[in-house]
Structures are given as C-alpha cells and as structure tokens.
C-alpha cells in the first residue's frame, strides 16, 4: 500500500475527514457551503483535518516503470478530474476506466462538472462508453471511457442488474457498451 493521495501537485495537502469518523465523503476538497440545504441528511461536517502526502500519477507511473494501465477506476470524492489531469503525458497509457462526476449537485468546491469532464476526455482521445447514475438519486454519476488508440473492445460484457455490467462469471464490475 502506498499511503499517499493523488493530486495535481506533489507535496502535502489538507485532507478533510467528514461525518462521524468518515463514512465515505472525506476529501482533499472543501465541502460546498450550502450542502446541508441541497443534500439534507448525511453528516457532511468536517470532524477533523489532517495533512497528507500527495503525488502526481505521471510521476508514479515513471518511477515504477508502468507501461500500460488496463483499467483506471477513479472515485476520489471531488478530486476525480485532478487525478486524470495528474496523468499528464502518461494519459495515453490508460486503456479504459471510470470516473465519478457530480450530476445534479456538487458536494465539493472547485470540482469540474460532468460536461467539462466528458469534453476533456473526448478532447484527449477517449470515447465515452456510458454514463450511469451512481446510486438511485442521480446526484452523482459514473462516466465510463475508453482510449481510442486501443480500439473497440471485444470483451463479453453482460448486464447484471441495476446499472451494472460485468464479465460473465467474474467479480470484475466495470462495463463497456
């Protein structure tokens, strides 16, 4: 395990631990000021802030001699676009992946919209293969993408219910349409 977060910059950043001990929304990003009004219920209050080391993915890829990333799954609580951008000149090594994006509500400050993220992916050589709600309410979505330089996949994806596709007889959940 590498105990570092991914960011656009190397060094250290503050990490906001949310809720009562963190139930999944902790982030390098700050929470929107009006979040309790637009998304009532969850405890989005910051219970603690710590300093964490951060790295760029392009440097990690170079330092570890990584030739190809078959699948990149990004769900970094508001920093998803930053993670993509941190790939820099190594972006073309990504074959396909998924990233979480805000749809109807931005939980975090200074995050890119779904439309901005999709436009950036397409401008950088990726096809969007699907956009699926992440949860029943559609407040967040998952954008699935594939690098055009690797062509169209011939893998046998099948629908496994409620917005998920997977390989037959596999625990591997991402999908491709």
CA pair distance 161, 144, nearest whole angstrom = 17
Question: In the chain, where are the structural domains located?
Answer: 5-54, 67-166
Predicted TM-score (pTM) of the model is: 0.83
What is the third-level CATH fold of 67-166? Answer: Rossmann fold (3.40.50)
Cα–Cα distances in angstroms (integers) from residue 111 to residues 7, 74, 79, 82, 107, in the given order? 13, 14, 7, 9, 9
pLDDT tens for the chain, residues 1 to 177: 899 999 999 999 999 988 765 467 889 999 888 888 887 777 788 888 999 999 999 999 999 999 999 999 999 999 999 999 999 999 999 999 999 999 888 889 999 999 999 999 999 999 998 898 887 778 889 999 999 998 876 554 444 444 444 444 444 444 443
Question: Hey, how many other C-beta atoms are within 10 angstroms of the C-beta on 56?
Answer: 20
């Amino acid at each position: 395990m590498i105990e570092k977060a991914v960011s656009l910059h190397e060094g250290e950043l503050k990490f906001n631990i949310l809720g009562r001990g963190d139930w999944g929304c902790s982030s390098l990003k700050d929470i929107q000021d009006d979040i309790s009004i637009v998304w009532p219920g969850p405890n989005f209050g910051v219970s603690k802030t710590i300093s964490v080391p951060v790295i760029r993915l392009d440097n990690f890829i170079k330092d570890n001699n990584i030739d190809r990333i078959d699948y990149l799954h990004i769900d970094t609580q508001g920093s998803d676009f930053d993670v993509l951008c941190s790939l820099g000149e190594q972006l073309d090594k990504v074959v396909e992946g998924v990233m979480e994006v805000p749809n109807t509500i931005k939980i975090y400050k200074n995050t890119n919209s779904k439309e901005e993220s999709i436009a950036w992916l397409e401008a950088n050589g990726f096809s969007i293969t699907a956009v699926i709600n992440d949860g029943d309410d559609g407040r967040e979505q998952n954008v699935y993408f594939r690098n055009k330089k690797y062509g169209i996949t011939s893998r046998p994806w099948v629908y496994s219910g409620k917005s998920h596709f997977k390989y037959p007889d596999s625990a591997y959940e991402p999908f491709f349409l």
